[in-house]
Amino acid sequence: MDTNGNWHVTLPAADLQQLPEGNTPLQVTATDIAGNHGTGSFSSLVDITPPTLTLGTIATDDIINIQEAQSTQTLNGTASVSEAGRTVTVALGGQFYTGKVGNDGNWSVDLPSHALASLPNGVYSLVASLTDATGNVTQVTKTITLDANSAMRPTVTVNAFVSEDNTISAADTKVSQILSGSTTNVE
């Protein structure tokens, strides 16, 4: 204690980590030279549990193809109902998108088509994070695949059918015919 009556005490991290969740009463006692005691107390909320957070599937299979990348994709998930109104942040390809946790614990974040179109094909980590009122953070990561580059779009070439003019005559219908061609960018 200093000459003005101000005091401080260091609470070791190991002791703080042993405190139970919830309201924890703390008490401080001062004793003067004559042995008289004075006590001050207060209650502190201990909340070290991060919020729950889940990620749903995007584009039905976590693979965004060319057609899906041409429209906004919505990512859904759930969080603790107690986190209603809090912001969920989703990171993808260096960009951040946000949504709010609803009163029912559900949340959604839109990934706009222009953002998807700007990313090259590949496998990406999609990271969602949520911070509760006391600052506890939860991050959930999932892997998604972006396969939307139009240069890699499958192509199909069809060879002439039956005859060079693609006309099927009565005689052609009396025997089996072969339709053929080739493809590129098909796995």
The sign of the torsion formed by the CA atoms of 64, 67, 69, 73 equals: negative
- d(Cα 80, Cα 103) in Å, to the nearest integer? 10
Confidence of residue 13 (pLDDT cuts 50, 70, 90): very high
Element at 115 (helix H, strand E): helix 113-117
What proportion of the chain, given as a percentage, has pLDDT over 90?
A: 58
Q: What are the residue boundaries of the structural domains of the chain, listed by start?
A: 13-46, 53-151
pLDDT tens per residue, range 142-186: 999 998 765 566 778 888 877 777 778 888 788 888 888 888 877
Which pTM does this prediction carry?
0.69
What is the reported pLDDT for 158? 83
- d(Cα 88, Cα 138) in Å, to the nearest integer? 10
- Arithmetic mean of pLDDT over the chain: 90
Q: What is the mean pLDDT of residues 69-79?
A: 96
Q: Residue 63 corresponds to which amino acid?
A: I
Say whether pLDDT at 124 is over 80: yes
Confidence of residue 117 (pLDDT cuts 50, 70, 90): confident
From residue 21, alpha-carbon distances to 47, 48, 133 in Å are: 6, 7, 15
Chain center to CA of 168: 55
Q: What is the mean pLDDT of residues 88-95?
A: 96
- Across 10-14, 107-111, 124-128, least confident range: 10-14
CATH 2.60.40.10 describes domain 53-151: yes
